[in-house]
Chain A
Amino acid sequence: NAGVTQTPKFRILKIGQSMTLQCTQDMNHNYMYWYRQDPGMGLKLIYYSVGAGITDKGEVPNGYNVSRSTTEDFPLRLELAAPSQTSVYFCASSKIQGVDQPQHFGDGTRLSIL
């Protein structure tokens, strides 16, 4: 049972480089989310999507872009990497957005910007 799969698991970037964090889910979930997790700060929502072709900003969207061309995939793009983007990034999905629907998480991408 794959669930939510994130790649890569680790990455080191230089300031100003760009990269795409990949996320795919095989549960046919409509909702997908990108969070960043910083020590002692909990999870902050970057972007979310309610279905293919529809995305919206979360709490901390600056410096990131997303797209949702299929139900399964929700990549996160960093265009000009900055040290402040060093973090652990989690992708999650849920069937619908509602109180009875838990979010299913990937194992995370640990990103360092040097």
Chain B
Amino acid sequence: AQSVTQLGSHVSVSEGALVLLRCNYSSSVPPYLFWYVQYPNQGLQLLLKYTTGATLVKGINGFEAEFKKSETSFHLTKPSAHMSDAAEYFCAVSDTGSNYQLIWGAGTKLIIKP
């Protein structure tokens, strides 16, 4: 069965610093990977996704993620953090063995220090 691990339930960075949120997955077949963002008291919205093709994927709000098959990783990065990036971020993998249902990581709360 596929699974997703997000390292660190909380990540704190200073405004203007690099953001790195880690996601590792387990899958026996080529995965389809997603990052969603959840702002306080809101639902989740899609940040970016990897399906096929280019392994570096760009999303909204300046975020990007790189699919590394050899490391089974899909880490999310942003060069310079803004206060508005404070939110919870979820990594998910599409379970091809279960009709593409999403398997979710536990989430990482990003804290931005002024």
Q: Give the interface of A toward B (CB within 8 A).
A: 4, 40-45, 48, 58, 90, 92, 97-100, 102-108
Contacts and interface: CB of A to CB of B under 8 A. Distances in A.
A99 to B, nearest CB: 4
Interface of B: 4, 9, 32, 34, 41-46, 49, 51, 90, 94, 99-102, 104-107
A102 B43 CA distance: 13
Contacts of B45: 104-105
Contact of B102 (A40, A103, A106): A103
Given A99-B94, A100-B51, A42 B43 contact: no
A42 B51 contact: no
A106 B106 CA distance: 19
| Interchain residue pairs A-B with the least CB separation, the first 7 | A105-B43, A42-B104, A102-B46, A99-B32, A43-B104, A42-B106, A105-B44
22 contacts: A4-B43, A40-B106, A40-B107, A41-B106, A42-B107, A43-B102, A45-B101, A48-B101, A90-B43, A92-B43, A99-B32, A99-B51, A99-B94, A100-B49, A103-B102, A105-B43, A105-B44, A105-B45, A107-B41, A107-B43, A108-B42, A108-B43
Contacts of B49: 99-100, 102
Contacts of A45: 101-102
B92 to A, nearest CB: 8
B32 A42 contact: no
A38 to B, nearest CB: 10
Contacts of B102: 43, 45, 103
B22 to A, nearest CB: 15
Nearest to B33: A99
B105 A42 contact: yes
A85 B42 CA distance: 20
